[in-house]
Chain A
Amino acid sequence: MTRQAPESIEDIVKGIVAAELRTDRGKLQPQTHLMKDLGADSLDALNIAIRLEEAFKIKIPDEAIPNFLTVGDIVKGVEKHQASASMV
């Protein structure tokens, strides 16, 4: 019997970005720029932040959101906020 590997942070982030921006997750690379490559706007960024907070049980501060420019930025951001949460 094989255990299914838990989804990585990157997998979950790609799933959320793909769902919110109505795009194919196969197109998402760490360097994919949400606004320049996928046509996202600030409202999309806010909605993605909501979904990330729900999925990872973290709180994303307002000032972090403008830094979520690429998929890779988001993954790093989630890792950072998960680490802060676990330090409490």
Chain B
Amino acid sequence: MSTPRPASALSAAAASAVAVAGFQIRRLLTRPRLLLAGLGMLFPAAVMLAVRGAAPVPLGRELTVTMLYALVPEAVCMLGLLVTMCPVVADELERGTWIHVAVRPGGRRALLLGTFLAAVTWTSVVAIAAVVAALAVSGTSEPAGLVVMFAALVLVSTAGRAALFAVPAVIVPKRALVASVGVALVVEFLCGLLPAVVNQATVSLRLRSLLANWMGWRRNLPAEIEMLVDPAPAWVHLGAVAALVAVLLTAAVLILERRQFPPSEEG
């Protein structure tokens, strides 16, 4: 039997991660997961309709955008990633597939990066559809620009938080969901809202700052709220999230490469 030649290291690593991403997206195409995705897509629109129905006056553009920000880049993205990114190792251990992935030369790295790609893709599609649906029922004028802005916020949110959840997922695979909720509460919401240096390392600060920047709100913010956003230009925030993603994913890959699972931890 002839052996196919290995591709170059970089293209092999990329192909492995893409192969795993395809693999993971196929796994997500189940009825319960699709139902959950459908709920994620419709939930912000339902909230928007309810608020619109209850409000005595039409919702202004700024209120609509603020609500949508809380509902989609924060809530929908976070919940979507908890379902798709957190079980990256636990699912493999449970299904008995971990050992078969881990005995491949780049298997562990490909598993993590591929699942990251799948989680970001899946959650972003759901979140962007949620934005479109919510804007459609909100009655906001000129929604196209808002869709583009929210699509960018969704991508920043999913990439940053998927990388953040990757770390507890490889350290405590079987309790990754609980640990990730803890990380989200402590890092993203508590530290993210502290007007101190520590919030510079959070995705939530970058998202709020990008929103304020792209909506042109910075000049009109009350002093108390101004403390919660960073006035740096958009490229600084995007670069900061990219650096955070790189650091977190590298740390997660290194931990996973060294992780040992005795037979008793599987199945």
To the question of whether A and B form a pair in one complex, the answer is no
Q: Which residues of B contact A (CB under 8 A)?
A: none
Q: Which residues of A contact B (CB under 8 A)?
A: none
